[in-house]
Chain A
Amino acid sequence: MRLGDKTMNEHNRKPIDWSKYVMTFIITSLLFGLALWVNNILDKSRTGDLRSLQDTISLNILSSETQYDLLRETSCKNVNDSILSTELNSLEQKLSYLESSQSNEEFNHIKKYYELLQIKDFSLMQRLSEKCGLKPISILYFYGSKTECADCEKTSAVLNHLRNTYPNVRIYSFDRRLSVSAVDTLAKIYKVAEPYPVLVINEETYKGFLSIDKMKEILPELKELDKERIENSSSTTSTSTNR
């Protein structure tokens, strides 16, 4: 079993099977194609979910407008805040979640539609306020790209906090990078211009970052809501203690 004195050269090893390399390439490409195809289907299903949510909001707004039209001739006693759609926050949440992962045309289209729905909701809310004396708290938020708007991220954090803490506060956010003519008109009405962020609170336009404390100064209703929450929580505690 001694090794022969044969010199070692490349003929000693198996020759490369190039057809196997090509076959591997084809199978790998097919696997990638399959993964991307499944991913595309999942994306479409996700977009479909958003569209169905938009339809719900659209239906809610239409229903509110019809209700408003019916009540216009009579009194406001049956009208309260609940007439407004409650789904907007949910859609906003989903859109901001998807914004980080999707930036295709279809997504931008959905976002534009969402902005139009916000304007419709805002306009309906204003009409209700005038007619029936409702005072829902609303904030319009205009923002730009991260690079051009240093304070937008901070402002978003404050508004997210308000949205989570005070579900009745209606926050309408508008991405100024999208060209939606109705948003342009809204911006003109409130004299919104760069630099962003710009906030419109109670018809007043504020440029730059506003802290939570500043917001509460502008919107004393928030402080009242805080008080109510504290009272509610203390009464809940005392009730449970008495049990």
Chain B
Amino acid sequence: MALSVSSIIYFFMFFLVYYQVFILLTFFENKHEFRIKPAPLPLREEELPSVTILVPVFNEFATVEKTIQSLLELNYPKEKLLISIVDDGSTDNTWNLIQKFSNISNITLHKKENGGKYTALNHGIANCTTDFIGCLDADSEVDSEALRHIIDKFSDKKIMAVTPSMKIQNPDTFVRMMQNAEYNMGIFLRKIMGLIDAQYVTPGPFSIFRTKVFEQIGNYRHAHNTEDLEMALRMQSKHMKISCADRAVVYTVGPRTLYRLYRQRVRWTGGFIQNAIDYKHMILNPKYGNIGMLVLPLTMWIIVGTMFALCYSVFEIIARSIKTINDINVIGWKNQLGYFGNSFSLDTITQFKDWLYYHTQGTFLLSIFSLGLIFFAVWRGRKLANVKDSKKMDMVYFIMLYSLISPIWLAKSVYNTIRKRDAAWR
């Protein structure tokens, strides 16, 4: 049993390491792309195209004002920047609050019945008259140069959408610090995915599209409450190129508590699994390049592997608990307590200095390699966005807690997929 389980773990681990080595090779192949480029942008003001930024809002009273303010502070000609705020039937004071922007010439306000974020986006797309269109979630703020960095990428005619670098705004709690490290890693990975034509999400905070994209492949869909993920997959399935502008920084408000983070991730992960199933014709199909041959199949496979490891760990914990209960039944709880006491005795500590008790397996050594690459990705992501981070503990929280809690939301997402259930937004 022990041998076969470790063989299965090795088998899953091989694909994980394969994925990581592929990422590392891509990095070394394109090292010049990761050098920090000087700030000046090649496009002159008169060359800049008109852009519509949609801000879908639903009960965003606390954050929407700052979101709009950050858009108004963008270093972009006002006459070429249209801000369209779509209230998706808020039940709080959001609609009244945004009235204060109604007199600004490049801002339009719309209100519609509640129908979900994708309907609000489609409402905005229907009224769009510009060549480029983007979305900014009402819990995010943009850096003043972000739009120009993104528009610069569209100089390549083949590029149909550009994603930004996302960072956590004010990582004040340990949950947010953990996400801060994760988002830094995301910046690095998004860059890599862009380089291999394999981005599978155009995030709600400030992904910009050529308006033609929607004319050609249709509007946003419900897509298991992850419309940004489905849009990217649909674009990939139509061979539309998605790039990323690493210097275009967007700050988003990360969930403050573990429970909120769990809810968000159940929606994201569940959305990924269900959309990947909807686009299963792309999996292992060389016609779809690296996203079909590498990213989708390996990510799905790693999810299966993580589920296996989770089930095995739960099985082990139950088996050990049963053994402890049986031991208590046989030798009595007082004697068992004595053992627990002995576990902390000086003798035991001396005993564990013995090399023999350090049971290392090949998987352990490979995990060190994986962990090393995660550190590397976080560090490079931080450098790439060229933003100074003062939070030193974020990596510690990320490594220590993420591996413990992410299998839980993964399990729930898999469960939702099996039950054909979509996770709630909030």
Contact = CB atoms under 8 A, between A and B. Distances in A.
Given A3-B212, A12-B158, A49-B356, A157 B22 contact: no
Interface stretch (B33-41, B100-108, B284-292): B284-292
Range class of the A interface residue count: 35 or more
A212 to B, nearest CB: 6
B157 A4 contact: yes
A153 B326 contact: yes
B374 interface: no
B369 A31 contact: yes
Contact of B356 (A35, A97, A161): A97
Interface in B3-49: 3, 10, 14, 17-18, 21-22, 25-26, 29, 47, 49
Nearest to A15: B289
Contact of A32 (B2, B14, B210): B14
Contact of B210 (A3, A13, A34, A39): A3
B302 interface: no
A10 B286 CA distance: 10
A97 B357 contact: yes
Interface in A67-100: 93-94, 97-98, 100
Given A31-B17, A35-B365, A98 B356 contact: yes
A3, A98, A211: residue with the most chain B Cβ atoms closer than 10 Å = A3
B2 A24 contact: no
B293 interface: yes
Contact-residue bracket for chain B: 35 or more
Given A32-B14, A103-B2, A153-B323, A1 B154 contact: yes
A226 to B, nearest CB: 12
Contact of B332 (A2, A13, A212): A212
A46 B21 CA distance: 31
Interface in A9-59: 9-16, 20-21, 23-25, 27-28, 31-32, 34-36, 38-39, 42, 45-46, 49-50
Nearest to B47: A1
Contact of A39 (B49, B158, B365): B365
A236 interface: no
Interface string B324-342: 0011001110010011001
Contact of A8 (B216, B330, B361): B216
Interface stretch (B90-98, B236-244, B389-397, B406-414): B236-244
A24 B293 CA distance: 13
B241 A28 contact: no
Contacts of A46: 355-356
Interface in B151-171: 154-155, 157-158, 160
A2 B287 CA distance: 27
B14 A39 contact: no
Given A32-B366, A35-B362, A38-B365, A10 B287 contact: yes
Most chain A beta carbons < 10 A, residue from B3, B18, B357, B369: B18
Contacts of A158: 330-331
B365 A101 contact: no
Given A20-B25, A25-B18, A212-B331, A36 B240 contact: no
A164 interface: yes
Contacts of B366: 31-32, 35
A42 B335 contact: no
Contacts of B327: 157
Contacts of A216: none
A28 B18 contact: yes
Given A12-B158, A16-B290, A23-B25, A28 B356 contact: no
A109 interface: no
A185 interface: no
Q: Which 7 A-B pairs have the closest CB atoms?
A: A35-B362, A35-B365, A39-B362, A12-B239, A161-B331, A157-B327, A13-B197
Given A16-B290, A93-B351, A161-B335, 15 more contacts: A2-B131, A10-B239, A14-B289, A15-B289, A20-B26, A28-B14, A31-B17, A32-B17, A36-B362, A39-B361, A39-B365, A97-B357, A212-B330, A212-B331, A212-B335
